[in-house]
Structure 1
Amino acid sequence: MITPQRRPYFYSIGIGLLYALIARFVFDRHLIPHNDFLLSVSFLLLTPIALGAVSAHFTPDEASDSWRSYWAPFLNTLLFLTTALIFHLEGMICVIILFPLFLGLGPVGVMFYDIFAKPRSDSRNKTLVVAAFALLPFVAAPLENQFTTPDNYHRVENSVVIAAPAPIVWQHIIRVAPIQAADLGPSFIDAIGFPRPVEATLTHEGLGGVRHATFEHGVEFIETVDDWQPLRRLSFGIEPNTATIPPTTFDEHVTVGGRFFDVLRGTYELQPAGPGRTRLVLYSQQRVSTNLNWYASLWTDFVMSEIQQRILTVLRHRCEASAAIVAR
């Protein structure tokens, strides 16, 4: 039962949820032709601050400080992202990315609102303050769009020491036999919907050979070998095969080869690590293109590192098994 005393709390949460959903729809490129502001500073930073201010404005005066500053923004964020997930406004990957920003910046919005709307201010002044906060993301977005989105190119590297000589390791990396889910083991990136690697084929050995690296759900990358140094180095450019990737596999904002993110190159390097041992290094070069590259890169680096480390672990097990057979 919603008692009269609790009703204002539900109103404040409901208004906050409504504001967040309106912002989500307005910032969607489908409503603003030729633009996509969902990965902008205006949406990712200013919207949660505005949401905190809206939440504070409509929170009853008798509410505790903890409810006003933390619980109300937290519930608004939780309800907004849950609603976005249920109604397929966002995929799980984007919800996970949005959650820390909205959770952390909501209380900041409450703090700023309290600074500008003094406790003794009249209701008209408070209304003007919350209106200014609510409109800020929408006013800032067109201004932000006047600036060119920066490209950030960087490298993600993983390595593993394998108890096998280089010739065995080399044969396992130029072509990767089919990988079962049990070979990879559980991972957080599986839970957020990123496809597991399946296999990598090779048309022919040497420069110009084409690897087809496939993942679950029809995801395929075409990898053209441009550096072939047997037992030492294998490097290739990467192009997503957009013809085979279903549009529902990735959230549109994290699609590989899309406007915001791309993996450009992959490289295996074999390094001596002692008698009968090889250090296998796998690194990729990627592009992140948002107005919040430092934050987006945290997530892209994490996902790429997790994928690479899982592949290296599978290769280590296979190479060491092959070495054990040869040693018999």
Structure 2
Amino acid sequence: MQPLSDTDKQEKLPYPKWWPIVAGALVGLLLRLFYSGGPDGPYGAMMGSFIFIAPLAVSAVTVYLAERLARREWGYYMVVGAGANALFVIGTVPAMLEGWICVIVILPLFVMIGMVGAVVMGAVCKMTSWPKQAAYSIAVLPLLLGAIEPTDGLPVRMSTIERSLTIAAPREVVWDQLLNVRDIQHEEVEDGIAFRIGVPPPLSAVSDAIDGQPVRRIAMGKHVHFDQIQTERREHELIRWQQRFYPDSFPPGAFDQHVVMGGTYFDIDTISYALKPVGDATELTLSMHYRVSTRFNWYADAVARLVLGNLEEVLLGVYRRRLEAPGA
């Protein structure tokens, strides 16, 4: 494909040099508007046809328009592919299509796919005479695939992640603290990745009984609440809870719909603490058994392990600081 002459550029392309990136991002936003269906029907935003093809469409349009201005180098393709997809994903927040939690989680994947797509489109522009047809075809491909992609039978991946630390306190004291954690302050959990990206912070975890069954009642910011039902208990050694959610556990706006606990795509099934004496101290181990159910579990599980591992470290840190504080 031959780039336009300076005269042609002035006559046919009267827009700034950065416009291809904006145009590509707008294509992504239009696709996201189209992909507004629920998890059980066509055109859902978590479908593979959107997650994997939409970034390619954004990059294809961006590179094609940029090539019409001037011949570009390979590094340029990667930069504009990443930039257009980043602008598209971030733009879903002011457009009220996504929340910041989903944006931060999915942004690296879209940028990576977008960079690959931009290089491929660049090769098409350099080596073929049909870049326009290729760009348009890739742009409409998500619309075609979204209508025929199966919406049931999401792959399920169950995983367990655990972290340990040693607390300078006997098991009996640590045990009592596990059962009742009150008045958790923001500064106690401010290092949590989950809470930095918008997950409501924990406020308390208090033991109670419902119909004679021992539970631990969890309260979080934004009026999030749920119960942890005790399923196993060995005094001063191990305690395990299973999460139980209610229709009003997650008020509107508290979580992004694609990452809410107990939802179609993510859940924390059980949480357990194991206590092991280490001299006069206690080794406390926190384990979480969780599920991801997406068309891209390899990525979703990697993100979950990063966020949940950090969450466990933060929660364990809360216990240690409280139990080791002067006068504790």
TM-score class normalised by the smaller sequence: 0.7 to 0.9
Q: 1:25-67: per-residue Cα shift (whole Å, max 9, x none)?
A: 111116x983453122221221112211111111135253157
Cα distance, 1:15 vs. partner? Answer: 2.4
Q: Distance in 2 between matches of 1:113 and 1:169?
A: 58
Matched residue, 1:156:
161
Cα distance, 1:9 vs. partner? Answer: 2.7
Matched letter for residue 292 of structure 1: F
TM-score, reference length from structure 1: 0.87
Q: Distance in 1 between matches of 2:41 and 2:115?
A: 33
Q: 1:284-322: per-residue Cα shift (whole Å, max 9, x none)?
A: 11111111111111222222222222111111122223x
Q: Distance in 2 between matches of 1:163 and 1:169?
A: 9
Q: Does 1:298 align with 2:302?
A: yes
| Aligned partner of 1:91 among 99, 122, 126 | 99
Q: 1:7-34: per-residue Cα shift (whole Å, max 9, x none)?
A: 253442332122101110111116x983
Q: 1:120-147: per-residue Cα shift (whole Å, max 9, x none)?
A: 51xxx22221122112223333443266
Q: Distance in 2 between matches of 1:67 and 1:304?
A: 35
Q: Distance in 2 between matches of 1:44 and 1:120?
A: 27
| Aligned partner of 2:247 among 242, 250, 258 | 242
Q: Distance in 1 between matches of 2:26 and 2:324?
A: 56
TM-score, reference length from structure 2: 0.87
Q: Contact 2:163 / 2:286 at 8 angstroms: preserved in 1? A: yes
Q: 1:139-195: per-residue Cα shift (whole Å, max 9, x none)?
A: 333443266211111112111111111111111111212211122344433331111
Q: Any residues of structure 2 matched to 1:313-328 within 5 Å, and which?
A: 313-321=317-325, 325=327
Q: Contact 1:39 / 1:292 at 8 angstroms: preserved in 2? A: no
Q: Distance in 2 between matches of 1:308 and 1:249?
A: 21
| Aligned partner of 1:141 among 130, 143, 146 | 146
Q: Distance in 1 between matches of 2:222 and 2:181?
A: 18
Q: Any residues of structure 2 matched to 1:172-321 within 5 Å, and which?
A: 172-204=177-209, 208-273=213-278, 275-321=279-325
Q: 1:91-124: per-residue Cα shift (whole Å, max 9, x none)?
A: 1111112211221122211222244455451xxx
Q: Distance in 2 between matches of 1:283 and 1:33?
A: 31
* Structure 2: runs of 5+ lacking an equivalent: 1-8
Q: Distance in 2 between matches of 1:218 and 1:146?
A: 32
Matched letter for residue 54 of structure 1: V
Aligned residues: 316
Matched letter for residue 231 of structure 2: D
User: Given the superposition, is the C-alpha separation of residues 36 and 242 from structure 1 closer, same or farther in structure 2, using an over 3 Å criterion?
Assistant: farther
Q: Contact 2:42 / 2:147 at 8 angstroms: preserved in 1? A: no
